[in-house]
Structure 1
Amino acid sequence: MKRKAITFLILAIITTIAFSLNHNDLTRTTDLDKLIKDVETKTEKLLSKSNIPGAAISVLEDGQVTWIGTFGYADLDVKRKVDQNTVFQVASISKSVTALGVMKLVEDGLIHLDDPIENYITRWQLPESEYDPKAITVRGLLSHTSGLSVGGGYPGYESNTQLPTLEQSLSGIGGGSKPVELENEPGARYSYSGGGYNLLQLMIEEVIGEDFHSYLNEVVLAPLGMENSSFQWDDHLQDKTAKAYDVKLQLLPNYIFTEKAAAGLYTTIEDMNKFIIAEINSFHRSGILEADTVQEMFSPILEVRGFESFINDEAALGHFINHANNRIIVTHDGSNNGWKAHFSMEPQTGNGLIILTNGNNGTYLLNELVSAWYYTNFGIERQFDQLRHTVMATVYALSILILCWSLSVIVNLVSAFIKKELIVTTYSNKKVLLSKVLISIVLVSGAFLLSKISVLILWFIDPFIVILLVTSVFIRTILAVLQLYIREREIRKHVLKRSMKKRFLFNNL
């Protein structure tokens, strides 16, 4: 009973400490100058901690660039540093830029948001479905409420391979792509669909009669002065483009895309500033688009549900919408293999944040910076920050408890070994030995599977807690396997005999 009480007390103490600790890398402050100073001071350390090669970060205030910071390396091999002209892939942020191009077609009267997409495409048709394809509208495609499937996530293609056509990609022909299908009732719920943006790309090409990337350059990139941006990896960008790296800082190919509207934009931190400032300005007065058009583009369509709801509240046209203190935050993330990017802006005040990275672990930096910026602007933690704190505290407490348990086992084993009371089992019965071996394999396999699952679930939270949890589980698993081959009954008998011998000697003195 006493032992259980002590165990419970230790559990309570560890859990309390884990949940009371501050797990943030950046200081939470409502002073923007202090936040910028903190970012300047700590970002290099965050890059090193998280295995992120480089980053470019921009902070906007009142619709103007307040600060730009560049950190780390665009190319680790030659030690080329990231600067303001370094070109990054921004992955799904391509969708936000594409949305401007689509809304320009709306303003020009060439398409209508609530028309069926099939009114504008002839080169490809959706597969048969139980749902009505006529209900798939341009608005639904822009807001991920069309009912279409993801389309495969679009990992991209190595530059020396033959790219599939857009129609082939839509049909699931090509590396990593899957057929775009009508899986849900259009307009019924939010479901993220890169395939929907593939259809929008096709629509633009058919309506305009020219390549997608040429049109977007004419109506968005060139008018905004985004000279180092393109939906095609042009010659003038190649020498400026950063190298992409995986979680272990191993070099990755520069993947290119048929699915340009969904994932294909190359840009710089300076050009992204121009894009965000143009959206902010057009929200208040006519600019790249009419103010009414931009306000409609930022109007929520449907609520985001499931895990994604911890990151975004609602889906709009090419953007996501979050709410804080009766104000809206317009945002979008980007995630290609080797590239992570993000922007957030508050169109009413003109405040914003842009982050570009060239590593698969860039998500760690994005989450920390976005949470800190959110607190600076609104004085409250975003929902994801609360989730992150709960997860980190839980993992810390669980890992420490497992390590304490393992330490207790190690102490007992070492003590028994020193006293020569540790007896390793030898099995004469092959069936018993086989069962022990099978149990050992199951334990090790289970630990390995748990580590893989932990990485998948916790990768976006913090790299250290993944290492801590996996290490603690593997240590305890190894000890559990070791204990399978120790004859505890023999140990107890041995100890009992020694105790009885001592008692006999004492009684005969």
Structure 2
Amino acid sequence: MKRKAIVLLVLAIIATFPFFLNHNDLTRTTDLDKLIKDVETKTDKMLSKYKIPGAAISVLEDGQVKWIGTFGYADLDANSKVEQNTVFQVASISKSVTALGVMKLVEDGLINLDDPIENYITRWQLLESEYDQKAITVRGLLSHTSGLSVGGGYPGYEPNKQLPTLEQSLSGIGGGSKPVELENEAGARYSYSGGGYNLLQMMIEEVTGKDFHLYLNEVVLAPLGMENSSFKWDGHLQDKTAKAYDVKLELLPNYLFIEKAAAGLYTTIEDMNKFVIAEINSFHGTGFLEADTVQEMFTPILEVRGLEGFINDETALGHFINHVNNSIIVTHDGGNNGWKAHFSMEPQTGNGLIVLTNGNNGTYFLNEIVSAWHYTNFGIERSFDQLSHTVKATAYALSLLIFCWSLSVIVNLVSAFLNKELKITKFSNKKVLAVKVIMSIVLVSGSFLLSKILVPILGFIDPLIGILLVTSVFTRIILTVVLLYIKKSDRLSNERAKNVIC
């Protein structure tokens, strides 16, 4: 009994120990200067850990740039470093910049947020649906509450291939795109739709009579001084653009986009500062747009549910809203193939954070930086950080317990074989052998399928914990398979068998 109590105590310690550990790379502090120092000191190591080539980071305070840091490489082969004027793709952050262009049309009286989108477009039409198409408004498209389908993840098109037209993309003709369809009642719930921003892109072109990228440059980018930004990969940006890399640090093409409003913006850390500061200033009545316009942009529309709800609380116009204490955080992520980006701002205080990376693993780095900045500003962990800690601790605890179990089985098996208490089974009955072979195949196949499910899911939090947990489970399953083909000898007592074959 005493031995069992000790074993149970040890297992309890192993199971709970990971929950008391700090799984963060960055120290949690409420001192902004200490946070910046920590980021300066640890970023290179974090980039190496997550296999991310480079990053550019900016911290804002009181509506001004407090610090910019550039780390790693824009081009690994050329050994060129990330600089402040290095151009990155910022993927879905394009939607936030597009929203400024749409709201400018609202201020100029050219469109109304609550008009049906069909009032403004003639080049393409949605297929008939059981839901009312007239309920699809500009406001609904900006806030992902229109009921439209995602429209594809928009992976982009290789530079040597001809881009489809915007109409073809909306119809699902083109690499990676799917038809944009009305799947739900407009305004009923939040559902992220890049396809909705394709319609906004078309609307802008039809209302203004200009190509989308030219209008956004004329009305948004140039007035804000975003000289190294464009929705088209122009010649003046090409030499400054970083190279994109996958999770193994292998070079990716510079994928291009016809879906510019949804995913096509090229920009720099310096220009992103100008964009965020312009929104902060406008919020206070001294910026690019009128205060009422920006405050309407930042007004929540609907709650974000599901896993996304751990990242953002509510959706707004071209932005997402999180609530902390009595403040709001206005934010958006961006993720194209080879690029991950993020910005957050607290418009009341003018504090903000921008992170740009040129690697597919950039999400892990972004999450760490954003969580640390969130704690510095508000003194509490954000919801995603709490989820991340729980998932990591649970995965570590389960992995440790399963490894300990497997180690115990291995030790007992080795001991039993050395003492000739176990032996390999000789099957005289072919049916029994067939059954055990089938069981072995099922067990190994099951572990393989488990890896295909668990690794991607847990990989959303951390790139390694899924692999660790699956490895521990696979090890235990292999031992179970081994036990199918051995049997006890006459030397093995029933009491001893309980400890050996388990």
Which TM-score tier does this pair reach, normalised by the shorter chain? over 0.9
1:463 partnered with 2:460: no
Counterpart-to-counterpart distance in 2, 1:135 and 1:37: 50
Question: In the alignment, which residue of structure 1 is the partner of 2:492?
Answer: 495
Question: In the alignment, which residue of structure 2 is the partner of 1:343?
Answer: 343
SS in 1 for 2:323: strand
AA at the equivalent of 2:391: V
Structure 2: 5+ residue stretches without partners: 497-502
Counterpart-to-counterpart distance in 2, 1:428 and 1:76: 61
Counterpart-to-counterpart distance in 2, 1:433 and 1:249: 46
Question: In the alignment, which residue of structure 1 is the partner of 2:127?
Answer: 127
Question: In the alignment, which residue of structure 2 is the partner of 1:183?
Answer: 183
Counterpart-to-counterpart distance in 2, 1:44 and 1:361: 14
Counterpart-to-counterpart distance in 1, 2:439 and 2:249: 36
Counterpart-to-counterpart distance in 2, 1:336 and 1:30: 32
Q: How many residues align?
A: 495
AA at the equivalent of 2:302: L
Question: How many angstroms does 1:5 deviate by?
Answer: 4.4
Question: How many angstroms does 1:7 deviate by?
Answer: 4.8
Question: How many angstroms does 1:3 deviate by?
Answer: 6.6
C-alpha distance 424-196 of structure 1, shift in aligned 2 (>3 A): same
Question: In the alignment, which residue of structure 2 is the partner of 1:86?
Answer: 86
AA at the equivalent of 1:494: R
Counterpart-to-counterpart distance in 1, 2:220 and 2:164: 26
Counterpart-to-counterpart distance in 2, 1:419 and 1:235: 76
CA offsets 1:300-319 (integer angstroms, 9 cap, x no match): 11111111111111110000
1:51 partnered with 2:42: no
The farther-off stretch of 63-72 and 237-246 is 237-246
Question: In the alignment, which residue of structure 2 is the partner of 1:444?
Answer: 444
Question: In the alignment, which residue of structure 1 is the partner of 2:34?
Answer: 34
Counterpart-to-counterpart distance in 1, 2:85 and 2:168: 34
Question: How many angstroms does 1:496 deviate by?
Answer: 4.8
AA at the equivalent of 1:268: T
Question: How many angstroms does 1:464 deviate by?
Answer: 2.9
SS in 1 for 2:464: helix
Question: How many angstroms does 1:211 deviate by?
Answer: 0.9
- Once the two structures are superposed, the pairs formed by residues 370-409 of structure 1 within 5 Å of their partners are 370-409=370-409
Question: How many angstroms does 1:48 deviate by?
Answer: 1.1
SS in 1 for 2:483: helix
Counterpart-to-counterpart distance in 2, 1:394 and 1:448: 21
Question: In the alignment, which residue of structure 2 is the partner of 1:16?
Answer: 16
Counterpart-to-counterpart distance in 1, 2:209 and 2:172: 24
Question: In the alignment, which residue of structure 2 is the partner of 1:502?
Answer: none
Question: How many angstroms does 1:456 deviate by?
Answer: 1.6
Which segments of structure 1 move beyond 6 Å, counting only runs of 4 or more?
A: none
Question: How many angstroms does 1:336 deviate by?
Answer: 0.9
Q: What is the CA RMSD across the aligned residues, in angstroms?
A: 1.6
Question: In the alignment, which residue of structure 1 is the partner of 2:277?
Answer: 277
1:111 partnered with 2:108: no
CA offsets 1:159-189 (integer angstroms, 9 cap, x no match): 1112111011111111111111111110111
AA at the equivalent of 2:451: S
Question: In the alignment, which residue of structure 2 is the partner of 1:507?
Answer: none
CA offsets 1:89-116 (integer angstroms, 9 cap, x no match): 1110000000000001111111000000
Counterpart-to-counterpart distance in 2, 1:473 and 1:253: 37
AA at the equivalent of 2:331: T
Question: In the alignment, which residue of structure 2 is the partner of 1:323?
Answer: 323
SS in 1 for 2:66: strand
Counterpart-to-counterpart distance in 2, 1:11 and 1:102: 58
AA at the equivalent of 2:101: G
CA contact (8 A) 2:420 2:491 kept: no
Structure 1: 5+ residue stretches without partners: 500-509
1:293 partnered with 2:293: yes
Question: How many angstroms does 1:277 deviate by?
Answer: 0.7
SS in 2 for 1:423: strand
CA offsets 1:284-333 (integer angstroms, 9 cap, x no match): 12421111111111111111111111111111000000111201100000
Question: How many angstroms does 1:10 deviate by?
Answer: 3.0
Question: In the alignment, which residue of structure 2 is the partner of 1:476?
Answer: 476
Question: In the alignment, which residue of structure 2 is the partner of 1:239?
Answer: 239
Question: In the alignment, which residue of structure 2 is the partner of 1:156?
Answer: 156
Counterpart-to-counterpart distance in 2, 1:158 and 1:204: 26
